[in-house]
Structures are given as C-alpha cells and as structure tokens.
Amino acid sequence: MKFSVQKSGYVSEISHFIADLKKKDPTLEEKQRAGRARLWDKAPIDLDAKQRTQESRVKQKAYVYQTK
C-alpha cells in the first residue's frame, strides 16, 4: 500500500547542474580521477625500510643548543 505518489521523471537541480557540467567538459571525470590519484592514492609503505630508517636515526639531546 503506497501512501504517496512518486514522480518517476523527477530530476533535481543538482542532477541537472552536474549533467550540464559533464556535457560542457566530457573529460571532467577523468580530470577528477587524475587529481584524486595525485593527492590521495599513495604507494604502499615498505615496512622493512620504514623500520630500518627509524632504527638508524640518532637520538636528539633534550636541549639541542647545549654544548656539553
């Protein structure tokens, strides 16, 4: 039992806006994926190299400018 009538042909203003953007610039989605890859998609971390780097660091003294 349905209580409301749903319009099947309704498209929101935002959907129209996005569709117009995609029509104006067909490479928009490709540009977005490239930007995301540049900023967020990182190479996997090599845990062995990270551990070796941490172990090879020289500990800094509590007060750096003290000579003795």
Domains of the chain by residue range: 13-56
Cβ atoms of 21 and 28 within 8 Å: the answer is yes
Instruction: Please tell me the predicted confidence (pLDDT) of residue 3.
Output: 67
Interatomic CA distance for residues 67 and 15, integer angstroms: 66
Give me the pLDDT at residue 60, please. Answer: 80
Tens of pLDDT, residues 2-60: 666 666 788 899 999 999 999 999 999 999 999 999 988 888 889 999 999 999 998 88
Q: What pLDDT, on the 0 to 100 scale, is given for residue 9?
A: 85
The amino acid present at 39, given as its one-letter code, is L
Q: What does the pLDDT read at residue 67?
A: 72
Tokens of 30: 């490709």
Q: What is the pTM of this model?
A: 0.46
